[in-house]
Structure 1
Amino acid sequence: MSASLLRNLNANEVIMRIENEDSDDMLETQSVSDSDPDFVFIQEFDEDEENWQGVKSKKLSNYAQRSSTVTLGKRKRVKRARPFGWKNNICKRNRLAGLNYKSRKGKQNIARQCASLTEDDRQWVFKNFRKMESWSERRSYVRASVSKVTTKQRKIAENMSRRKSSFEYHLQLQNGKCILVCKKLFSATIGISQRTLLSWLEGPAPFIKFLDPHRPRKGKTAFIQRQDMDFIIKWLHELPTLSSHYCRSRGTYKNKKYLYPGTTVSNLHRLYSEEATNSERRVISIAKFRDIFNKENFSSFRPRKPQCDICVGFSHGNIDDGEYRAHVISKDVTRAEKNADKESADVSRSVWTMDLQAVLILPKTHASSMYYKTKLQMHNFTLYNLQTKEGFCYPREEHEGDLSSEVFASLQFSHFNQYVTDHPSIKELVIWSDGCGYQNRNVIVANAYLDLARKHKIKSCKT
């Protein structure tokens, strides 16, 4: 097909297109006039036919010029705008989402990492901040974690703005990494209000007094040298001490080193001062001496519990060393046997301990009118099951029973008779007590246990 024929076809097509556009305009005008009876059509061109033909020929010439350059080939695809993938829109979305983004000028902006902070990290930061003992130390931590930078964006003139700078808040995590967070998360993590945070940052720097390690060492506030501390500890451990004896099972008295009765801290400090002066050592104050005395687990008083006559006699020098050592060996053997019985206790072997409480005076009062009056004595006999950890008390007043062997034999027989009846699986009884004669070391108590064994067919009753 020649180029002239193509131009003629294109021209005819243009004429038809123009006529179709004119007819469409007429149809649109007619449809509007039909719907609106008051509509009046005003033609945009002159009524002169030549003018209309001139306009029509002008349109035709324009289309002909454009169609003269048309060549045969593939039809081009019409491109459509996709704003979602534009770089500016991507940067906006990253900024709103709190992610890193680049500005129009290509500058990389690092976003805050609030979303990456876990609850465990915040808890670790909070605990370390609360471990600081003084507010000055906490204030210094806040000022070190916040950096002051110049304002990056100004919307008004610089001389009219009251804002001179901005703050960047950082949190140091357990792994040593320091991340950038917002102001709200920073204040909520360390547990202080934003108003307090702002006052700490804008106020003067806190004053922290650091002790100079090279300052002169003199006076009461000087540090105690290691040699002087070792001298005090060595002097205390050379003092004669006594074992805790009856308080061995309690954690408070288990490793206590008791000094002899009548020893006081003031007397010990006076003796220590003389020894330190002779040895050319520094003499510390009595307050510091008392702290070291208590820290080394010394005690200047005896526990208020009864002791045997041999131990008391040996402490006063009335018992020789050989007799006391034999007593201690016997005590250790008895304690080991008691522990063995305690471990072997089961449903068929019942192990008990029994003792009489100290005399209770009734009524117990500090009033002067009743203090010197004759009071009523009350006795309390106790039994304890080492396996089930059950305790039984049998209190009685002095008019209900005295301290004779018949009373204790009756109490023990009545108790174990009822207990064995309720627990028929028991075939052996083991009862531990002290060496009091009227409680267990007599014939009446032995006959009571013999009768109990015959009645319930118990193999043995050991006391």
Structure 2
Amino acid sequence: MYDLCREQCTERGLEPVKLHKYRQICNQQFNIRFMKPKSDRCDTCESHKMNDEKGVQSSEKDREAFARHTFLKDNAREARQRDRESSSAVLPRSNVSNFYYRRKLSVYNLTVHYSLDKSSYCCIWNEAEGGRCGNTIASALLKVLDQFTQENPTINNIILWSDSCVAQNRNSLMSYALLSFMRAHPHIKILTQKYSEAGHSLVQEVDSVHSAIECHLARCEVFSPVTLIRQLLSVRRNPKLMILQMKHRFSVL
């Protein structure tokens, strides 16, 4: 919010106030509170933490497993930060999340965020077109990648970040889909898949997009997939969300 305020002041040729003044006005005059976004807790880390608090002595096997878990978590975070700072195209993506509406029709959204220009893609389909299996997820990602390459024809190195869900992301269907994508786009020289350590998501950009969508949908009523797409186009994001619709005939696997 403060960044948007600064941008608006700059466009109007005004000097923006400092962050502490902005917080003071929001808290005291508009009754708006600021809080740290919540994050999911890792089962492994929480179990280790509870054992420490209770004074339970972990076995040597458990200590080795936790040490490996911590190493993989830190290693993935460092690799993610290096990719953020590189010139390669980094596309973190999340698990599909479903929306449950009054007409009881599930609509799914695969969100992809492009790190270089901060653009976001939402690939939408309903349960009549497909579910959340690996085949559908891979097809949705290919649709996003096709659109991405059309808009960024000079990109030849892509890094994909996702969570480590085997059923949706980390499987042979996804690998075959990405291989098919590279064959169809020979100018893509390198395509790398990277995964977060289980329980520690490193795709916060996608989480931010989902948070903006949830905040927007909380203020409106949605009765059909068409209405949902119209509302997604109205979500306050800069740049605006790119909405892609999946059709059953698009499935490529």
Q: Sort the Cα spacing of 1:397 and 1:389 in 2 relative to 1 into closer, same or farther, 3 A.
A: same
Which structure has more relative contact order (CA 8 Å, sep 6+)? It is 2
Q: Sort the Cα spacing of 1:315 and 1:351 in 2 relative to 1 into closer, same or farther, 3 A.
A: same
SS in 2 for 1:432: strand
Q: Sort the Cα spacing of 1:304 and 1:344 in 2 relative to 1 into closer, same or farther, 3 A.
A: closer
The question of whether the paired residues in 1 share the 8 Å contact of 2:123 and 2:144 is answered with no
The question of whether the paired residues in 1 share the 8 Å contact of 2:95 and 2:163 is answered with no
Counterpart position of 1:306: 40
Unaligned runs of 5+ in 1: 1-250, 254-302, 364-373
Query: What is the Cα deviation at residue 445 of structure 1?
Result: 1.0
Query: What is the Cα deviation at residue 316 of structure 1?
Result: 4.5
Counterpart position of 1:274: none
The question of whether the paired residues in 2 share the 8 Å contact of 1:409 and 1:448 is answered with yes
| Aligned pairs for 1:2-41 within 5 A | none
TM-score, with structure 1 as normaliser:
0.30
Deviations along 1:382-428, one digit per CA (max 9) or x if unpaired, are: 10011111111123322221111110111111111222133221111
Q: Which amino acid aligns with 1:360?
A: F
Residue 356 (1) aligns with residue 98 (2): no
SS in 1 for 2:117: coil
Counterpart position of 1:461: 191
Paired with 1:405 and 1:334, the residues of 2 have a C-alpha distance of 23
Q: Which amino acid aligns with 1:314?
A: H
| Aligned pairs for 1:370-449 within 5 A | 375-449=104-178
The question of whether the paired residues in 1 share the 8 Å contact of 2:93 and 2:113 is answered with yes
Please tell me the root mean square deviation across aligned C-alpha atoms, in Å: 2.5
Counterpart position of 1:225: none
Counterpart position of 2:79: 337
Counterpart position of 2:7: none
Paired with 1:359 and 1:414, the residues of 2 have a C-alpha distance of 19
SS in 2 for 1:388: coil
| Aligned pairs for 1:115-126 within 5 A | none
| Aligned pairs for 1:45-444 within 5 A | 252-253=35-36, 304-317=38-51, 320-345=62-87, 349-363=88-102, 375-444=104-173
Q: Which amino acid aligns with 2:80?
A: K
Equivalent pairs counted in the alignment come to 151
Query: What is the Cα deviation at residue 444 of structure 1?
Result: 1.2
TM-score, with structure 2 as normaliser:
0.53
Any runs of at least 4 consecutive aligned residues in structure 1 with deviations exceeding 6 A, and if so which? none
For the pair shown, the structure with the greater C-alpha radius of gyration is: 1
SS in 2 for 1:332: helix
Paired with 1:399 and 1:337, the residues of 2 have a C-alpha distance of 38
SS in 1 for 2:100: strand
Paired with 1:381 and 1:406, the residues of 2 have a C-alpha distance of 13
The question of whether the paired residues in 1 share the 8 Å contact of 2:89 and 2:114 is answered with yes
Paired with 2:134 and 2:47, the residues of 1 have a C-alpha distance of 28
Q: Which amino acid aligns with 1:462?
A: T
Q: Which amino acid aligns with 1:402?
A: G
The question of whether the paired residues in 1 share the 8 Å contact of 2:142 and 2:177 is answered with yes
Paired with 2:105 and 2:39, the residues of 1 have a C-alpha distance of 23
Which segment drifts farther, 349-358 or 328-337?
Answer: 349-358
Deviations along 1:83-142, one digit per CA (max 9) or x if unpaired, are: xxxxxxxxxxxxxxxxxxxxxxxxxxxxxxxxxxxxxxxxxxxxxxxxxxxxxxxxxxxx
Q: Sort the Cα spacing of 1:321 and 1:359 in 2 relative to 1 into closer, same or farther, 3 A.
A: farther
SS in 2 for 1:362: coil
Deviations along 1:203-261, one digit per CA (max 9) or x if unpaired, are: xxxxxxxxxxxxxxxxxxxxxxxxxxxxxxxxxxxxxxxxxxxxxxxx954xxxxxxxx
The question of whether the paired residues in 2 share the 8 Å contact of 1:356 and 1:379 is answered with no
SS in 1 for 2:93: strand
Query: What is the Cα deviation at residue 357 of structure 1?
Result: 4.9
Q: Sort the Cα spacing of 1:360 and 1:315 in 2 relative to 1 into closer, same or farther, 3 A.
A: farther
